[in-house]
Amino acid sequence: MLVFDLNDVQQYVKKVCDEIPGLLGRHSITSDLVAQVTGLRADIDKPFTVAIVGQMRVGKSSLINALLEKDIAITGVTETTATVNWIHHGTDPNIARVHWRDRPPETIPRGELDKWTGDSELAANTRSIELFDDAAFLKIASIVDTPGLRSVIAAHESATESFIGINGANDKNAERCADQTQQLGLQADAIVYVIMPVARETDDQFLDAFRNATRLPGSSNYNSIAVLHKWETLNTDDLLDERDRKASKIAASLSEHLATVLPVSAPLARAVFSLNDRHWQTILELGKPDNDSIREKMLRHERAFVRELPECSVAVAERKDLLLLGVPWPSLRTIIGIAANVQGTSINELRQRVRAISQIDDLKQILEQRFFSRSRAIKMLRLTTRASQPCQLAMTRLQNETEKLKTNLNRSSNVLALLQQRIELGDTDLQSVVRHTQESQQVIESQLEKLTDTLETLGERFETLQTIHDGCDGDLAGIEAIAESQLDELPAELRDTLRYVFGQHGVSVGERMRGLHRSRNPSEAIVELVGTLRGYVDKGSPRTHHTCQHAIDRLEQLYHHIELSGQREKIAS
Amino acid sequence: MNTSTTAQTSQPDSIDFRSVVNHVATSLVPFAEEYVNTSQLDDAIAGLKRLNCGVFRLVVMGEIKKGKSSFINAFLSEPELLPTDSDIATSIVFKILYGPKKQFKVFFFDDGETGQPVAPLVVQPDQLMDYGTEKGNPNNEKRVDFIAVELPNPLLQSGLVIVDTPGVGGLFKAHRDITWRFAPNADAILFVVDSVESVMSADEIAFLRDLTEKFAVKLLFVQTKIDAASEELWRGWEDRNKTILKSELGLTDDRIVYFPVSASTKNFADEEFDLEELEDSGYPPLMRFVAQTLLPSKERFLAAKAAVDWARIASKVSHEMDIRLSLASETTSGKIQEIETQRREAISKFNDWELNIFKPLVASTNETVGKISRDSLDELESLLQPSGNLLADFVSAYRGFTADEMQENLKMIQQDFMERCAEASKEVFDKFSSGFENAVGQAQKALNVKATGDVSGSGSSHSRDIQFRKVTTLDLSSTSVFESTRNIAFAGVAGYYLSSMVISAIFPPVGALSLVAAAFGLYGASETGRVMAENRNAQAFTKLRGILADQLSQVRRSVVRDFEDRADKCSKGLNGLFEAATSQMRADLQRDLDDAKAAAGRTHAESQEVVAKLRAEMMLVGKHLTELRRAFPTMKA
Ligand SMILES: Nc1nc2c(ncn2[C@@H]2O[C@H](COP(=O)(O)OP(=O)(O)OP(=O)(O)O)[C@@H](O)[C@H]2O)c(=O)[nH]1
Ligand SMILES: Nc1nc2c(ncn2[C@@H]2O[C@H](COP(=O)(O)OP(=O)(O)OP(=O)(O)O)[C@@H](O)[C@H]2O)c(=O)[nH]1
Ligand SMILES: [Mg+2]
Ligand SMILES: [Mg+2]
């Protein structure tokens, strides 16, 4: 059945997207909903899109640069990113393509982009900007840098919100966004929400709005993760423990919205590739025990760091050099702190250590595991959500209309009966009225027929979309549960099989079936597997119960699919 | 440090305003007791007390985790005083004030069930967490009102009270309300931003805008944690924040008082007596500003107000002494007899005037005022009548909406409606207060016209004229009197009446009303399939009107009650004023007569003595008056 193979599903969604505008356009009461699905069709073939979102100054652009190991996104001291900036796979990092609001796109040298930052006129006139880099992961997913939330430059927040597809999460720019959203609409498949160590009310509001825009009620949170950033500014001695505590705390308070919260440091990661050996040597030197007594004093603040200190084995000039590298002061302080903790190592080991603490590689891995490898399922989740919302609304309206017409029909039948009586009593003038009423009745009846027809088709589409949505949601939950070791009650072999079934290693029928016993006839293998799973459904944790139940549903779909294609083959031969 | 304090030219305080006023007042009191009526004297003494207790409330506000509590601790050189944490910490208001020994006292709300007051509790420093933080006292389950921290710190000795408040913008929404409640009590608000999280945000600006629109309060800005940023960055943020304040709040350069500081660096400096660190911490210019400009500015203001009272008393006293003096200078007993007769006549004239002119005037003014308030009350009542136009007009805008739309936006609609009610009632309140002012103004004019005649003395036969007592000198002449009456009545409601008082104090909270909505069954009806949409919409519309009507009658009850209170206060205040004015006049006339009687019984030598004594006293009072005028040159003569 088509709900199982995401290649088929994609075709199906395309078909629905082509068909629905026609269906909705048939009736005046639903024609306004057409606009909601028009952008959707083009969206299906677009690459998977991960948006980096968060409040201003939290380091979103820096984080992107750390991921790409190159300074592609523009960073700055005050509110910087002012436009929605796509980073696509490409070979020329030195150009940028500007999509204007009012004229055709234009290619410019990347170096000119700093005119598009802050409270800029150019930015106000720009819909989005494309940048290019050849990092391998961009082949699977495009990354989008967004303007910071909470800025007093109101256009920043509204640009991000309309890109994400939410209208005024904070009730501010609701109206202004509305029309933009329709054009740009809902382009992010997933977000990395960059957050400071203490969650705010506005974080909660934003994530809530994103969730409502991209997932149907009741589904899980696979399309948003958070990065805890700027944690090195925490004023504490046990920095690493504290950042982890903060991450769990945020994960707990926003658990409805976030699949995971990972502490990362962009400046630390950037330092690894941007500082040269001489710099690292200076840092190692500063971390040496000879400097223990004065290090604490030196690291209190930037001015203290470059004071003349006869006891210090590193000259002022060399210390000043370190400040010129674009590493934020708290990050530099942290790096020197790390050097002091890993005394006696080489500069390469120190680099590795800093890289490990930056957790940039963990972020890449999480992006790969959670987003890139599951991109098809996540994307389907979002597309089905977007397609079903107008369908559902249309169905409600059409149903109400049907009721109304039926009432009218009833009424006119009553009227007709009365008229007939009068005519029988000799009131022949009424013949023409009767004819008129009968004609109207026919019109209503044909209208009713059209309505019922649309309703039936819409209902069928809606139900299928919902099934696809829930299937993808269940798959994602299953993969997640296995990855999080929540299904350790099941034998390892069975878990491996389920990974395949849930589409972790590919979302076509063939790929999903690869986990089944090859030696058997597939139908039998499925029946046997279902039997095994039934054994687990009623014992074990609720998680195990849900996952096994979902696996059984999936396998049943698979079974039907195989049987169906078997029959088709038979018929064909 | 680069701060904008230079703009706040603090004038050199060679004059100690407080002691000038105190000195003058102390010497004037014995005379004032003799010549000035008690209510005027009491007022002046109360003003003096306000000046002398010299409390200045500096309220520290800001978003969560900006470093407010740490800032205060470092300010007071007490790094451990208030609880600080990297997680939401402060959840209760802390008031730090001078006391002979360090002590923490927790004050509670009245008992929730019995309504009885709960005695405050002295706690140890390590128990603070249990009462004043979200961790130890989640959702304020212990019903703490505030925590008073007494500290023998010289910075507080001059009456400075520092108030720490919970941070706004976090996941605990109640904290904002706790903080907000404190704004009206502030003499100045110190708003804390940091150098770590971000430049000023739209939310912070919205908060400040709200604050400045409702309360005319001095604002100071502190950008803390500069140690945790490169100098380039924190200076960049300082500039950006100032630009934001200018463009978003319309503050001008000279009104932006802004200090970049680091609490951490200040603590190190204190610990190690390190002057270089102290400079780097950015605290010295801030502390200078507080001590030399901020605190004295309030003292100067209060002192100037007190000076006006006492100058008025001094003039009155010397005027009365002058009248006495001219009587005492009379030598022939015939003249004295004549004066005595004149003064008797004056009293009877005054009595006539009071009976035939003043009393009727008061009565008619009262009647007018009464009518104005009854009219306003009627107007209010019919305005806020659920069957009236206010509701009908408002609700008709929603006629075309679907049930779903109404349901979704219910809260907003209710809020809108509340504001609409507030606006409409404000118009009535405004009309009332201008009508009231008008009536009093009329009365004043009538007095001036009808009572031109002198009450006392013909003055023709005297070489040194006794100054005449005219009824027009009844202290109704200055417009400030009317203002003060209105102030009694409206307690300074002028500008922010509408937005803050009406909505929060009189109008019921919207949350409560949403429950009404739930009870009406607007929520959760999902039988859309069967019920016809239009029908449902019409039903919803009717329900919406019902809810709003319900809301309106609640509002009406409290607004009307409030209005009655205020109108009552107005007329009481006015009558008090009339009463005070005539009683002063009566006392003065009586004293004149007594003086004349006494003078008749004096020997020549005795008279000489009285004259000498009066001259000396008048000199003294004159000297005091000059002293006041010199200290407060802007004071009107
Ligand atoms: N201390 C510290 N500073 C950081 C970190 N990441 C970035 N910064 C600094 O914070 C500032 C903002 O960085 P950006 O990457 O431009 O931030 P952004 O979130 O893209 O900001 P907008 O585009 O304005 O929304 C820059 O000055 C960075 O040097 C971090 O992890 N720690
Ligand atoms: N580096 C640095 N950190 C500071 C400074 N002042 C405060 N902090 C840190 O900032 C965090 C918050 O400090 P608090 O004083 O609790 O902040 P607050 O604004 O009172 O917080 P709430 O009451 O919860 O709103 C703590 O971890 C402090 O250590 C400073 O000057 N420099
Ligand atoms: Mg940016
Ligand atoms: Mg605090």
The pLDDT tens digits of the residues spanning B72-102 come to 999 999 999 999 998 888 999 999 999 899 9
The angle, 0 to 180 degrees and rounded to 10, between the axes of the packed helices A375-424 and A34-44 is: 150
Nearest by CB: B231 against A55, A246, A303? A303
pLDDT of residue A2: 60
Decide: B83 and B128 in contact? Cβ < 8 Å.
Answer: yes
pLDDT of residue A180: 36
Nearest by CB: B202 against A151, A201, A397? A151
* Res. A229 pLDDT band, cuts 50 70 90: very high
Gap between the Cα atoms of A129 and B193, Å rounded? 33
User: Strand runs (DSSP E) across A151-264, as ranges?
Assistant: 190-195, 224-228, 261-263
Partner-chain contact A57 B236, CB within 8 Å: no
Least confident of A394-408, B2-16, B57-71, B154-168: B2-16
Gap between the Cα atoms of A235 and A275, Å rounded? 25
pLDDT of residue B529: 32
Residue A434 pLDDT > 70:
yes
Return the best residue to mutate from B70, B78, B262, B264 for the ligand 2 pocket (most ligand atoms within 8 A of CB): B70
Return the best residue to mutate from A62, A143, A230 for the ligand 1 pocket (most ligand atoms within 8 A of CB): A62
Residue A185 pLDDT > 60:
no
Question: How far, in Å, are A281, A291, A306, B465, B637 from residue A275 at the CA level?
Answer: 10, 22, 19, 96, 74
| CA B183, chain centre distance (Å) | 11
Q: What are phi and psi of B351, to 5 degrees?
A: -60, -45
pLDDT of residue B553: 74
Mutate to test the interface with B, among A329, A333, A398, A404 (most CBs of B within 10 A): A329
Q: What is the mean pLDDT of the segment spanning B333-343? A: 83
pLDDT digits (tens, 9 = 90+) for B7-22: 343 444 457 888 899 9
Most confident of the following: A360-364, A563-567, B2-6, B300-304: A360-364
User: Strand runs (DSSP E) across B491-583, as ranges?
Assistant: none
Residues lining ligand 2, Cβ inside 6 A: A 235; B 62, 64-70, 84-86, 88-90, 166-167, 224-225, 227-228, 262-264
Residues contacting residue B336 through CB under 8 Å, at least 6 positions apart = B327, B330, B596, B599, B600
Give B146 or B586, the one with higher predicted confidence: B146
Nearest by CB: B199 against A57, A200, A399? A57
Gap between the Cα atoms of B216 and B248, Å rounded? 17
Q: Tell me how long chain A is.
A: 573
For chain B positions 508-547, those within 8 Å of chain A (CB to CB) are 528-530, 532-534
Rounded to the nearest whole angstrom, what is the distance from the C-alpha of residue A74 to the centroid of ligand 3?
6
pLDDT digits (tens, 9 = 90+) for B248-295: 999 888 889 999 999 999 999 999 988 899 999 999 999 989 888 888
In our burial notation (b when 16+ CB lie closer than 10 A, e otherwise), range B220-233 reads: bbbbbbbbbbbeeb
Gap between the Cα atoms of A363 and A59, Å rounded? 15
Helices (H) and strands (E) in chain A, counts: 22, 9
Question: How far, in Å, are A142, A560, B180 from residue B139 at the CA level?
Answer: 44, 55, 17
Question: How far, in Å, are A39, A40, A43, A382, B512 from residue A14 at the CA level?
Answer: 12, 9, 10, 14, 48
Residue B586 pLDDT > 50:
yes
pLDDT digits (tens, 9 = 90+) for A440-497: 788 888 889 999 999 999 999 999 998 999 899 999 999 988 988 888 889 999 999 9
pLDDT of residue A110: 92
Q: A299 to chain B nearest CA, in Å?
A: 9
Q: What is the mean pLDDT of the segment spanning B612-620? A: 92
Write the burial class of residue B629 (CB in 10 Å: 0-12 exposed, 13-18 middle, 19+ buried).
Answer: middle
The pTM for the full model equals 0.72
Residue B228 pLDDT > 90:
yes
Tell me whether A148 touches chain B (CB under 8 Å): yes
Residue B560 pLDDT > 50:
yes
Most confident of the following: A150-164, A256-270, A400-414: A256-270
pLDDT of residue B548: 78
Least confident of B135-149, B190-204, B359-373: B359-373
Nearest by CB: B201 against A77, A152, A303? A152
pLDDT of residue B216: 66
Task: Say if the ipTM goes beyond 0.85.
Answer: no
Eight-class DSSP state of A47:
P
Helices (H) and strands (E) in chain B, counts: 21, 9
* Res. B523 pLDDT band, cuts 50 70 90: very low
Decide: A116 and A129 in contact? Cβ < 8 Å.
Answer: yes
Give A201-205 contacts, CB < 8 A, sequence gap 24+: A201/B169, A201/B170, A201/B171, A201/B173, A202/A55, A202/A149, A202/A150, A202/A170, A202/B169, A202/B203, A203/A55, A203/A254, A204/A254, A204/A257, A204/B171, A205/A169, A205/A170
The single residue listed with the structure tokens 């690291």 is A299
Residue B536 pLDDT > 50:
yes
Least confident of A413-427, B123-137, B519-533, B564-578: B519-533
Partner-chain contact A77 B196, CB within 8 Å: no
* Residues less than 5 Å from ion ligand 4, measured at CB: B 68-69, 89-90
Give A414 or B205, the one with higher predicted confidence: B205
Q: How many CB pairs (< 8 A) connect A and B?
A: 123
pLDDT digits (tens, 9 = 90+) for A340-379: 998 778 999 999 999 999 999 999 999 988 888 888 888 8
Residue A173 pLDDT > 60:
no
Residue B249 tokens, joined:
């709040």
| CA A349, chain centre distance (Å) | 36
* Res. B233 pLDDT band, cuts 50 70 90: very high
Residue A84 pLDDT > 70:
yes
* Res. B4 pLDDT band, cuts 50 70 90: very low
Decide: B192 and B64 in contact? Cβ < 8 Å.
Answer: no
Q: Tell me how long chain B is.
A: 637
CB atoms within 10 A of CB B550: 15
Write the burial class of residue A549 (CB in 10 Å: 0-12 exposed, 13-18 middle, 19+ buried).
Answer: middle
Q: What is the mean pLDDT of the segment spanning B176-201? A: 88
Q: What percent of chain A has pLDDT over 70?
A: 95
The closest alpha carbon to A336, from A311, A372, A305, A303, belongs to A305
pLDDT of residue B568: 76
pLDDT of residue A167: 56
Chain A residue numbers touching B170 (CB-CB < 8 A)? 198-201
Residue A566 tokens, joined:
């078997």
Tell me whether A291 touches chain B (CB under 8 Å): no
The angle, 0 to 180 degrees and rounded to 10, between the axes of the packed helices B533-600 and B410-450 is: 30
Q: What is the mean pLDDT of the segment spanning B598-617? A: 88
Coil, helix or strand for B223? strand
For chain B positions 76-135, those within 8 Å of chain A (CB to CB) are 86-88
Residues lining ligand 1, Cβ inside 6 A: A 56-62, 75-77, 79-81, 147-148, 229-230, 232-233, 265-267, 328, 330-331; B 233
- The per-residue DSSP string of B369-395 comes to HHHHHHHHHHHHHHHT-TTSHHHHHHH
Give A415 or A264, the one with higher predicted confidence: A264
